[in-house]
């Protein structure tokens, strides 16, 4: 196997003598209007390799794999499969040739069983019974346990991903593409996935692994191709690189370190949640179960957890988008606020940043000044006797632009025209400029470029230093380790007791994210509950 490994230099491909790459793209280009999503990308995928595709959001990773999987037609360039040029008419042709893909966002029907979902994704020539038997066999062979008869809505995110992987494997692909598979997994679940991928490699298959988690890539992958701004920057052996050198290639420069002020003082409790329970607002939503925590001024509390464990529901309850019957369950600045609307909570000094930037945090087709008004109308002097003070709204835009380095084409563009990172800086800036006493922020740097992420994390730290209480929900454990003082974990609508960040190892957090408890005594209690 080792003789198989080629050197860093791409010209050294002759080591694969007598073989051709399984898949090869030459000058692959995809153009959307004036925008080049992929600019002449050459990539070689060899059998028995796990090949990482690295890049920031918007670097062109998804576009490239969509072209390889036949979801989009390239504007120029050529794809070779086993040495032959191919034009894929669509994903079904890609699958029939032996190319499989597992998407980041699953396409599963909640109300159907595992087996029914898998059947829908196959071409349906075999009987349902044969297919179910094969499903069980594949899932056993690869150590991906699944109960074919369970309905999808009952399953965890990790289990849902298993369905997608098994579905792809049942078509016996020679080449499997996985789009950010570990983004939704606990560290332990990720380790299990890596075992599966190693096994696929040992069977002579190739894997293209999209990620931006560098440590993971160094551990798992044999080759890494780095994209930046639609272009290929480099193909290298990630094991010979450092995380920092990979990051430099992704970003194209050094990333600013985020620094916490030394000796931050905590003050009075500014956000207190007392035994908050809330039924889900929609079918298959998560029920919040007896959530309690206390957050003091000057402190950042991180909430970790796999997506879909009640984080969205908790945000809605804290912001007042959903009201709680008992006012005392949420206390903002010493006042019972559970029954108050989001506007009234803002007047108490709370500010909120939701996960979705477009359509939730902002109205996409409205100007930034109007989006400043969206949350500023309550308590920022932008409205006098029902009339809008346009100058005040524009001033907020200018101040946010200046303080948080928001890059935009003109003074007051539509929200949708900004890049993800710049829009997120504007949204966070809009709330911080209101000098909130409490800031509740969900996934602050999701899909944001590294430069903007550093600015946003620094801003959250500075806000806490200035005395505000900050609650950060994030799926990125590194981010929480970087900025939070304490970290709690959400699982099935329950919130664990917070751990001091210094004690919150990946192992401990991973156990909590998977629903285990840390101490045997507590575990016994949980089983009884």
Partner 1 sequence: MQLVLEKRAERSNTIALISPLIAIGLTIVTMVILFAILGKNPLLALHAYFIAPLTDSYSLQEIAVKATPLVMIAIGLSLCYLANAWNIGAEGQFLIGAVAGSWIAVKTQGTDAGVWALPAMLVLAAAAGALYALIPAICKVKFGASEILTSLMLVYVADLFLDYLVRGPWRDPHGFNFPTTAEFDPVATVPLLIEGGRLHLGSIIALLVVAGAAILLGRTIKGFEIRVVGAAPRAARFGGFNSNQLIILTFAVSGALAGLAGIIEVAGPVGHLQPGISPGYGFTAIIVAFLGRLNPLGILIAGLFLALTFIGGEQAQIAMKIPLDVTKVFQGILLFYVLACDSLILYRFKLVFPNRQVARGTH
**Applying CB under 8 A, which residues contact partner 1?**
27, 29, 32-33, 73-78, 85, 87, 319-321, 341-343, 346, 352, 354, 356, 359-366, 370, 373-375, 377-378, 383, 386-388, 413-414, 416-417
Q: Are 170 and 115 in contact (CB under 8 A)?
A: no
- The least CB distance from residue 466 to partner 1, in Å, is 24
Q: Which residue has the tokens 């290929």?
A: 232
Q: What six digits make up the tokens of 212?
A: 């931006």
Beta bridge partners of 32: 35
Q: Are 486 and 501 in contact (CB under 8 A)?
A: yes
Q: What six digits make up the tokens of 298?
A: 């000057």
Q: Please give the Cα distance from 345 to 397 (Å, whole number).
A: 23
Beta bridge partners of 471: 301, 440
Q: Is 115 or 278 the residue whose CB approaches partner 1 more closely?
A: 278
Q: Is 197 or 382 the residue whose CB approaches partner 1 more closely?
A: 382
At residue 464's C-alpha, the angle toward residues 461 and 468, to 5°, is 150
Q: Is 427 or 454 the residue whose CB approaches partner 1 more closely?
A: 427
Q: Are 306 and 157 in contact (CB under 8 A)?
A: yes
Residue partners of 94: CB distance under 8 A and separation at least 6: 68, 69, 70, 88, 101
Q: Is 251 or 383 the residue whose CB approaches partner 1 more closely?
A: 383
Q: Is 48 or 417 the residue whose CB approaches partner 1 more closely?
A: 417
- The least CB distance from residue 363 to partner 1, in Å, is 4
Q: Is 343 or 505 the residue whose CB approaches partner 1 more closely?
A: 343
- The least CB distance from residue 377 to partner 1, in Å, is 6
- The least CB distance from residue 210 to partner 1, in Å, is 24
Q: Please give the Cα distance from 109 to 153 (Å, whole number).
A: 8
- The least CB distance from residue 390 to partner 1, in Å, is 8
- The least CB distance from residue 180 to partner 1, in Å, is 25
Q: How many DSSP H helices and E strands does the chain contain?
A: 17, 23
Q: Please give the Cα distance from 314 to 311 (Å, whole number).
A: 5
Q: Is 87 or 523 the residue whose CB approaches partner 1 more closely?
A: 87
Q: Are 357 and 446 in contact (CB under 8 A)?
A: no
- The least CB distance from residue 446 to partner 1, in Å, is 17
- The least CB distance from residue 351 to partner 1, in Å, is 12
Q: Is 375 or 475 the residue whose CB approaches partner 1 more closely?
A: 375
Length of the chain: 529
């Amino acid at each position: 196997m080792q003789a198989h490994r080629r050197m860093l230099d791409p010209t050294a491909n002759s080591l694969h003598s007598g073989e051709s790459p399984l898949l090869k793209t030459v000058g692959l280009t995809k153009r959307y209007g004036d925008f080049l999503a992929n600019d002449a990308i050459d990539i070689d995928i060899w059998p028995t390799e796990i090949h990482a595709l690295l890049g920031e959001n918007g670097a062109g990773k998804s576009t490239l794999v969509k072209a390889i999987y036949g979801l989009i037609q390239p504007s120029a360039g050529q794809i070779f499969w086993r040495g032959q040029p191919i034009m894929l008419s669509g994903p079904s042709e890609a699958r029939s040739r032996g190319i499989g893909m597992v998407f980041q966002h699953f396409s599963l029907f909640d109300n159907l069983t595992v087996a029914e979902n898998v059947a829908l994704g196959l071409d349906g020539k075999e009987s349902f019974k044969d297919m179910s038997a094969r499903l069980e066999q594949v899932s056993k062979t690869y150590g991906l346990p699944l109960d074919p008869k369970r309905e999808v809505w009952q399953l965890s995110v990790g289990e849902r991903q298993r369905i997608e992987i098994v579905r792809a494997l049942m078509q016996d692909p020679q080449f499997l593409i996985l789009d950010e598979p570990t983004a939704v997994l606990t560290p332990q679940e990720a380790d299990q996935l890596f075992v599966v991928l190693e096994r696929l490699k040992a069977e002579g298959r190739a894997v293209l692994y999209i990620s931006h988690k560098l440590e993971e890539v160094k551990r798992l992958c044999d080759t890494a191709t780095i994209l930046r701004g639609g272009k290929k920057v480099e193909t290298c052996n990630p094991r010979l690189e450092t995380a920092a050198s990979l990051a430099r290639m992704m970003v194209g420069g050094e990333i600013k370190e985020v620094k916490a002020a030394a000796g931050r003082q905590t003050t009075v409790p500014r956000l207190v949640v007392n035994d908050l329970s809330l039924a889900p607002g929609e079918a298959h939503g998560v029920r919040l179960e007896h959530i309690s925590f206390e957050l003091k001024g000057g402190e950042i509390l991180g909430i970790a957890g796999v997506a879909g464990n009640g984080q969205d529901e908790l945000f809605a309850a804290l912001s007042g988008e959903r009201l709680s019957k008992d006012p005392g369950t949420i206390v903002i600045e010493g006042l019972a606020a559970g029954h108050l609307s989001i506007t009234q909570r803002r007047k108490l000094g709370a500010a909120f940043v939701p996960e979705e930037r477009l359509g939730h945090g902002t109205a996409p087709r409205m100007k930034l000044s109007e989006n400043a008004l969206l949350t500023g109308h309550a308590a920022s002097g932008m409205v006098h006797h029902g009339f809008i003070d346009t100058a005040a709204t524009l001033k907020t835009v200018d101040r946010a632009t200046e303080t948080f380095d928001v890059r935009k084409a003109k003074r007051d563009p539509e929200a949708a025209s900004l890049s993800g990172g710049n829009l997120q800086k504007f949204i966070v800036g809009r709330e911080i400029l209101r000098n909130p006493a409490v800031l509740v922020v969900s996934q602050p740097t999701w899909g944001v470029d590294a430069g903007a992420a550093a600015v946003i994390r620094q801003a959250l730290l500075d806000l806490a230093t200035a005395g505000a209480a900050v609650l950060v929900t994030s799926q990125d454990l590194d981010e929480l380790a970087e900025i939070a003082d304490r970290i709690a974990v959400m699982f099935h609508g329950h919130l664990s007791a917070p751990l001091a960040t210094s004690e919150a190892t990946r192992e401990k957090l991973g156990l909590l994210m998977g629903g285990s408890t840390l101490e045997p005594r507590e575990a016994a209690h949980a089983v009884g509950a």
